[in-house]
Amino acid sequence: MMAGSGSGNTVAGGLARHIPVLARQVFEQFGFAQLSPREGIYIDGTFGAGGHTRAILQVDGTKVIGIDRDRDAIAGGFALVESLGGRLTLVEDRFSNLEHVTRGLGHAAVDGILLDLGVSSMQLDRPERGFSYSVDAPLDMRMDTSQDLTAADIVNEWPEAELVKIFRRYGEERYAKQIVRAILRTRKEHPFERSGELVDTIKSAIPAPARFGEGHPAKRVFQALRIAVNDELGSLEAALPAALAMLRPGGRFAVISFHSLEDRIVKQFLRDKERGCTCPPDFPVCVCGHEPELRAIERRPIRPSAAEIAANPRSSSARLRAAVKT
């Protein structure tokens, strides 16, 4: 699904209540204040409710290709498209396909790419999507509702070893084995259909002190299931080289992550692409000819300010890394 241009030139539409995370910092990392003329083509690979896209489009002369795998997000952006006179194009797809999408629109390179990872506020705030552990809802968690695999499928059908693996790897859950055994006992009696029953099963499986520790006791398992359902880490690993391929020299790349698994992948990618010569250190001269492909703008991840966290608590774990293509 693709939405093209309409008429008008104001940034409007029914997306105003969304608070984009680290929007000012993204603006700074993209170097908009220094651009002359201030123009270019940008990819928002995780359009969501359109907050970051709106911030980019406040810069005169910019155009945005907004990509999202969530059909509801694309549909929600149609009014914004209609208000912008051809400056915004929306495409329903995974951000891992951003190179194919962008070349298909006739662009050989772009000036900036943003990925705001994880689940969006609009998905969390709709109980029927099943992302939240705080509200009883169907056990779904699909960002792309046209795909077959749901969280219920994983919980009810995946073998014990695979469940333990994803809870440990994607959720860093220390009680993964105990939780999985409780899930197996329950699903022998009847399949899991709703998030509330899974939350109760998780609570029953972990020691009492852990139920009142840091965060909700089901938080890590729900994160793991969401990542597995949507292949989030695989999509990120595919998107990073695609983004590098699409950037023009001097173009900027920014990624906002919300947990250490994502941030570790981004950090390692940037480090690998910043490296120059890869010859063994005892070689007297370079023979590989390898040149750095990216330069990090900041050495450490950028975090939200205390004021932003107070205004938008969901931003508290956000980390922004940005780089320039050399």
Half-sphere exposure of 113 (CA within 13 A, CB side): 29
Domains and CATH numbers, the chain: 2-122+232-325 (3.40.50.150), 146-230 (1.10.150.170)
pLDDT for 119: 82
Cβ neighbours of residue 168 under 8 Å, at least 6 residues apart?
176
| Rg for the chain, CA atoms, rounded | 21
Neighbours of 203 (CB within 10 A): 16
Residue with tokens 């480090």: 271
pLDDT for 90: 97
pLDDT for 9: 35
Name the pTM for this structure: 0.88
Per-residue pLDDT of the chain (326 residues), as tens digits, is: 555 533 333 333 344 456 899 999 999 999 887 655 567 999 999 999 999 999 999 998 899 999 999 999 999 999 999 999 899 999 999 999 999 999 999 999 999 999 999 887 777 778 788 888 999 999 999 999 999 999 999 999 999 999 999 999 999 999 999 999 999 999 999 999 999 999 999 999 999 877 776 779 999 999 999 999 999 999 999 999 999 999 999 999 999 999 999 999 999 999 999 987 777 877 877 877 778 999 999 999 999 999 999 998 889 999 999 999 99
Pairwise CA distance, residues 194 & 158, whole Å:
17
Given a contact cutoff of 8 angstroms between Cβ atoms, the answer to whether 147 and 78 are in contact is: no
Residue with tokens 């896209």: 53
pLDDT for 10: 34
Given a contact cutoff of 8 angstroms between Cβ atoms, the answer to whether 132 and 226 are in contact is: no
Give bridge partners of residue 235 from the DSSP assignment: none
pLDDT for 1: 57
Pairwise CA distance, residues 232 & 137, whole Å:
22
Three-state SS for the chain is CEECCCCCCCCCCCCCCCCCCCHHHHHHHCCHHHCCCCCEEEEECCCCCCHHHHHHHCCCCEEEEEEECCHHHHHHCHHHHHCCCCCEEEEECCHHHHHHHHHHCCCCCEEEEEEECCCCHHHHCCHHHCCCCCCCCECCCCCCCCCCCCHHHHHHHCCHHHHHHHHHHHHCCCCHHHHHHHHHHHHHHCCCCEHHHHHHHHHHHCCHHHHHCCCCCCHHHHHHHHHHHHCHHHHHHHHHHHHHHHEEEEEEEEEEECCHHHHHHHHHHHHHHHCCCCCCCCCCCCCCCCCCCEEECCCCCECCCHHHHHHCHHHCCCEEEEEEEC
Pairwise CA distance, residues 238 & 87, whole Å:
27
pLDDT for 121: 73
Dihedral (CA of 101, 245, 52, 235) sign: positive
